[in-house]
Structures are given as C-alpha cells and as structure tokens.
Amino acid sequence: MRILRTTQAIRTWQHRQNAHKTSIGFVPTMGALHDGHRSLIARARKSCDTVVVSIFVNPLQFEPSDDFGHYPRDLSKDLTMCRKEKADAVFIPQWQDLYPHEFQTTVTVNKLSQRWEGEHRPTHFQGVTTIVTKLLNLVQPSQTFFGQKDYQQFLVIRQLVKDLELDAKLTLCPTIRDADGLALSSRNQYLLPAQRQQALLLYQALLSGKQAIKKGERRARVVEKHMAAIFEAKHQSHIDYLVCCEAKTLEPISRVQSNTVLLGALRIGAIRLIDNLVISVRE
C-alpha cells in the first residue's frame, strides 16, 4: 500500500493510474476509521481497479467552537484498517500543503448548505465543499464513495459536482450502525456509557418518526412531535434539530411525501452527533 504525503505525490500517483487506464475508487475521510469507513473502502474495492483513501482532518470545516483540536486521530490504526481492506494508496496530506499561507479560494454551495447543519455550523459546508473540490481535482477518481450518515453533506457535494460540471461519479452507501442502532461515528469513542444511552435516543427518535409514518401519519409536524417525545424528560442532551423534510432539497414539508428524510442532530456535552433515515412512502 502506497502512502502519499504530498499533493505532488498524489498527482504523480494519479498520472500513473491514468496512464494505465485504471479506474480509481476514492474514499475521503477524516481518519479515526471505523466500520462505517471500512464499508466504503470495501465497496470501492468491489467497484474499482484501484482504491485510494484520504485521511485529513480538514481545519476549514470546523467552526471555532468545534472540536478540531480534540478530533480523534489514530493514524497507525487507520493504516492497519486500510491495509486489511486492501486499499492501494492512502493520501495523508499536511494542512500546510493543502492550505499554504497565500491560500484564498473557497467554494460555496449556497442554499442547501444553509439549512440544518448549516444553521448550527455556518461555515462548515464551505470547508467541506472546498476540500472536496481540491481532493477531486487531485485524485480525479472514477467513483467517490460517501456514507448516508452525512446525508446533507452528500446532497451538498452532489450539488457542487452538478453546478461546477465536475466530472465525478458519487456513490452513496448505507449507514453502518452498532448492534443497538447507534450510527458509527469517530466521535462515539468520546461517549461515556450514560452519554451513549443518550446518543441512542437519536436513532430511537428517528425510528419512532418512521413508525408513525408507517402507521399512516402524514402530518410532518406530528411526525416531528413523535420524534421529540422520545427525548422528553431527558435533560442531559440538547436537540439541535429533529425534522421531517423533503429528501432532495431538505426543505421542510407540511405533509410527508414519497421521498422524505428524517434528520436529527444532538449535542451531548461537547459531543455532537447526527443521524437520519430516508423514507419512501407510497402516497
């Protein structure tokens, strides 16, 4: 497995793959890899000739109040997983290389970035779309793999690719969960046992919304009330949002439609977790 530490190294590697007409599967990550990331690498392995994983804790996508300094990092464990999953290359850039002193260009997807996560983390998606643009330019992958756990992020990136005519094929892969339903996240390792129980309520709330829809409820506000009820009398966590919206635009809806997504974000102490369920309904 090649370890590429500079933008020059990934360019040279990319040109070599291109010369051999090799299809490149790309999995961008911030490291602290878990089975969710593993599933993306495995999926890329299945679909493409060669697989490259990037590991970069992107400072641009953290708000000043976010946990950039405390974001989990464990490079040797990450490399072991990449090797085990038969990645061909791992790109581990230094932030000074990607954002040199004179760096001054950012990429913004306007409307979609402003909702939900964007309301709570106003510069987050600009950081995401800027780094993804840079990575897609460097890697020039045939296919790039993302997890549904970050559903809004996927839609924002899809919009970016469409609006800027980027030649990129994006593949959305299912959310991987622990046996009890908690969506895997690099931040989960910071949850104390009691906090983990709180975190689990997010998935239970989404399931309760799904159940209400399954039983025939179509009023979005009522579905949202079902979800919020799961948290009643639990004061240790704070809901940033827990909503029922249209699955492509993420606009709030008054009635559940054929493509609906339930989105939630929760703060437990300093830890922030997100999750979602996409629901297809026959109207």
Position among 9, 13, 25, 36 found at the interface with ligand AMP (CB under 6 A): 36
Q: Which of residues 218-257 bind ligand AMP (CB under 6 A)?
A: none
Backbone angles phi, psi at 247, to 5 degrees: -75, -20
Cβ contact 245:174 at 8 Å:
no
Regarding 72 and contact with ligand AMP (CB under 6 A), the answer is: no
Regarding 40 and contact with ligand AMP (CB under 6 A), the answer is: yes
Q: Which of residues 177-216 bind ligand AMP (CB under 6 A)?
A: 183-186
In sequence order, which residues have a C-beta less than 8 Å from that of residue 237 and are 6 or more positions away?
198, 199, 201, 231, 266, 267, 268
Q: How far apart are CA 95 and CA 99, in angstroms?
A: 6
Q: With CB under 6 A, what is the number of residues at the site for ligand AMP? A: 17
Smallest gap, in angstroms, from Cβ of residue 37 to ligand AMP? 5
Give whichever of 40 and 266 is closer to ligand AMP, judged by the CB atom. 40
Cα four-point dihedral sign 267, 273, 278, 279:
negative
Regarding 147 and contact with ligand AMP (CB under 6 A), the answer is: yes
Smallest gap, in angstroms, from Cβ of residue 232 to ligand AMP? 27
Helix axes 7-19, 124-139, angle to 10 degrees: 50
Active site residues: 37
Position among 150, 156, 191, 230 found at the interface with ligand AMP (CB under 6 A): 150
Three-state DSSP class for residue 90? strand
Give whichever of 184 and 256 is closer to ligand AMP, judged by the CB atom. 184
Three-state DSSP class for residue 242? strand
Question: Which residues form the interface with ligand AMP (CB under 6 A)?
Answer: 29-30, 36-37, 39-40, 146-147, 149-150, 173, 175-176, 183-186
